[in-house]
Chain A
Amino acid sequence: MELLHSGLLQRALLELVILGAACGALGVWLLHLRHAYAAESLAHAMLPGLVLASLAGAPLLLGAGGGVIAAAALIALAARDTRVGSEVAVGVTVTTAFGLGAVLALAPDVPARLGELLFGDLLGASTQDLVAAGVLAALVAGALALGHRSLCAAVFDPAAAPSLGVRPQRVELALLALLAVATVAAVQGLGNLLVFALLVAPAAAAMRLGHSVRSQLVLAAALGAGAGVLGLAVSAEVDIAAGASVALAAVTLYALAALARPAASPRAAGRRRSPVEALGTPR
């Protein structure tokens, strides 16, 4: 298979495996803490950073880092709004930031390669970029492994956590920082619009299939890495964009899991919810 012969593809494959595993595991914690919206918002709102780096000819990772920090600060500010609610305030912030990124990209005489920033450019990445992303992803995975017990305490028993020397708020903040790092690592290959797939799809699938945190983490890491391999293989065989291919592979794995386990345990049903309640953002 061509996949194993090309040096570039080999490196990309390695990076995706590490990235997929790290994002998969991270995603499990994000879902348990209900931060999917934050992950999506952060990825979209970082666009201006990417564009500025591209226009200035600076390394993309630098722009990604700056963009993520700015986006995180703005989103944190917006999330505290009490007048229109955090969902709406964050949505406005993300729309504006994303729009700003697009303006910066499309206005100049030599436009930035917006398509690649949005959808990724895995195979156009230099070896340095791939190595850097791989290192960041490995850092994320390492941090999750080291902090495993603190995470468990903070997420599943926040009331008792302080007595165990764990401060839930700090842990949550650290997790969001890891989200930022993982986003930066993944954005080169997947683009800022598709990063979310690798962060959440393997984890969402794992949560349907596994019932203990440990099993979910392992499953999510495996599925994430698997999505990376599968996506890259399909991309090489059928000649489609690599980032989109990986994203589609991840979402497909989730869809399969959803079909296989369409919620075995009925929750306490209660009344019939109106469709807007079901489809809108919960309280």
Chain B
Amino acid sequence: MQRAVVAILLLAVAAGLLGAWIVLRRLAFFAHAVGTATFPGLVVAGPWGLTPPLAALGAGLGFAALLARLTRRGATSSDAATGLLLTGALALGAVLASDVYRSGAGVDRLLFGTLLGLGDGDLWLAGAVALAAVAATAALARTWLATGFDPAGAPALGIHAQRGDWLLLALLAATVVAVLPAVGALLVSTLLVVPAATARLVTGSLGALLPTAVALAAAEGFAGLLLAYHLDLPPGPAIAIVGGAGFALAALASAPRQRRAAGVAA
């Protein structure tokens, strides 16, 4: 349990920071899809003798590459293609797990995370990704902000939009892989999207959004872990309901502000 707490606190750094950018740059569905797409990779990792993070990363990158190919020139809309690929990955994983490798009860852990099964390697990965996230945000926040604000106008400001975005996506993939052991392939959004979305509701500037997202990810992650421990659940679903409650509270609390803002900007 101690290990899980340390892991969650470390993961909160990367998940909170990345989450802020995921929310701002409209990558929520994509992040969820990447997480889900790692499922077949995780299933074959054991039988094929691969370390799970690498197998997951491979599956995630494969997913992203296929998605980029399918959505080229608008042949299929991005939400349709994203949904199709993630469903295909789930089906593939299900077949591999139930009929090929007979993974049995281990599948729950891959899908929803584990409280007691985290290893040292998972902690090291979480720490490394946290460092990478902090460094990248410090270096690239301006780039990411300007690119998101006005993608067409960014190059004229001297912004290397393409380079910055590739780095963002790479970091997103790494963070997804890092949170997988704790929350599972189906619920990466609980750390990568929900806390940052809640933070977005209660902050008004980027400078406030980033630390608030990290703090909420840590708090919700920790509370979720306690809940999981007491109810004998995997962490993913437990953190999900804590996060959902947090978002609902923040949404209610900020509703009057939203109505006022809508009136002013009309």
Contacts and interface: CB of A to CB of B under 8 A. Distances in A.
A267 B74 CA distance: 8
B29 A37 contact: yes
Counting contact residues on chain B (CB < 8 A from A), the size range is: 35 or more
A225 B97 CA distance: 26
Q: Which of B32, B95, B262 has the most CB of A within 10 A?
A: B95
Interface residues of A, number: 70
Between B29, B80, B239, the greatest number of chain A beta carbons within 10 A of the residue's beta carbon is seen for B80
A165 interface: no
Contacts of A204: 76, 80-81, 84
A281 B76 contact: no
Given A196-B83, A276-B169, A241 B95 contact: yes
B157 interface: no
B99 A106 contact: no
B90 interface: yes
B187 A279 contact: no
A200 B231 contact: no
A115 B186 CA distance: 13
Given A91-B29, A281-B30, A258 B67 contact: no
B26 A85 contact: yes
B76 to A, nearest CB: 5
Interface in A247-283: 247-248, 251, 254, 258, 261-263, 266-267, 269, 271-283
Contact of A100 (B90, B107, B197, B237): B237
Contacts of B77: 31, 34, 36, 282
A261 B70 CA distance: 11
A132 interface: no
Prevailing SS type, chain A contact patch = helix
B254 interface: yes
Interface stretch (B5-13, B49-57, B127-135, B159-167): B159-167
B83 A88 contact: no
Contact of A82 (B29, B84, B165, B258): B258
Contacts of A100: 237, 240-241, 244
A251 B91 contact: yes
Contacts, number: 238
A91 B247 CA distance: 12
A158 to B, nearest CB: 18
A219 to B, nearest CB: 15
Contact of B94 (A88, A196, A241, A277): A241
A197 to B, nearest CB: 4
Contacts of A239: 99
A227 to B, nearest CB: 11
A123 interface: no
B28 interface: yes
Interface string B175-192: 000000000001101100
A279 B67 contact: yes
B187 A37 contact: no
B84 A263 contact: no
Given A102-B112, A194-B87, A277-B151, A91 B241 contact: no
B147 to A, nearest CB: 6
5 contacts: A91-B29, A98-B187, A197-B87, A248-B92, A281-B30
Given A39-B83, A197-B87, A267-B74, 12 more contacts: A95-B194, A96-B244, A96-B247, A100-B241, A102-B187, A201-B87, A244-B91, A245-B95, A248-B95, A254-B84, A258-B75, A279-B71
The 3 A-B pairs of least Cβ separation, nearest first, read A99-B240, A96-B244, A263-B75
